[in-house]
Amino acid sequence: MLGFVIIVAFEFLGIGLHHLGVPLPSSVLGLLLFTLALVLGLVRLEWVERAATLLIRHMTLLFIPLMAGLTTMTSELRRNGVALLASLVASLLAVLLTTGGLAHLLLRDDEIAEIAEISVE
């Protein structure tokens, strides 16, 4: 239960900072602060690991309210569908290219070959 309380506390901390005027989404603020606390050793991984694993395992259930909300916005989706699709494709390509570029810069050639062999098998 301690891990869940810690995770929720960082979410509320992000919400509070967002309401104070920090121009980032509250969930992003909470995750940044949580990551910083992990790196600095203020929060130990053992404290939150079980709760985080449970949340990740059941993450698809957390998307049900989002999908239910989207069903009420079909007219908006039709009206802005092309722009939304273009935005999704552009962001997907940006993430793929950035991840691939960073992996290429940070990994040695033999590590990349090893990863490629594992993914082929």
Q: Tell me, yes or no, whether 45 and 79 share the same domain.
A: no
**Cβ–Cβ under 8 Å, residues 14 and 33:** yes
Q: Tell me, yes or no, whether 53 and 14 share the same domain.
A: yes
Q: Which two tokens stand for residue 96?
A: 């793929």
Give pLDDT tens digits along the chain (121 positions). Answer: 889 999 999 999 999 999 999 888 998 999 999 999 999 989 998 999 999 899 888 888 888 888 888 888 888 888 998 999 999 999 999 999 999 888 888 877 777 777 767 665 5
Q: Tell me, yes or no, whether 82 and 118 share the same domain.
A: yes
Please check whether residue 68 lies inside any domain of the structure: no
pLDDT at 13: 93
pLDDT at 120: 56
Please check whether residue 86 lies inside any domain of the structure: yes
| Count of domains observed in the chain | 2
Q: Which two tokens stand for residue 6?
A: 């810690």
**Cβ–Cβ under 8 Å, residues 6 and 47:** yes
pLDDT at 121: 55
Q: How many CB atoms lie within 10 A of CB 21?
A: 6
pLDDT at 37: 93
Q: Which domain holds residue 96?
A: 73-121
Last residue of a domain, one of 62, 93, 113: 62
3-state per-residue secondary structure call for 47-97: HHHHHHHHHHHCHHHHCHHHHHHHHCCHHHHHHCHHHHHHHHHHHHHHHHH
Q: Tell me, yes or no, whether 57 and 94 share the same domain.
A: no
Q: Tell me, yes or no, whether 58 and 97 share the same domain.
A: no
Statement: the pTM of the whole predicted model exceeds 0.85: no
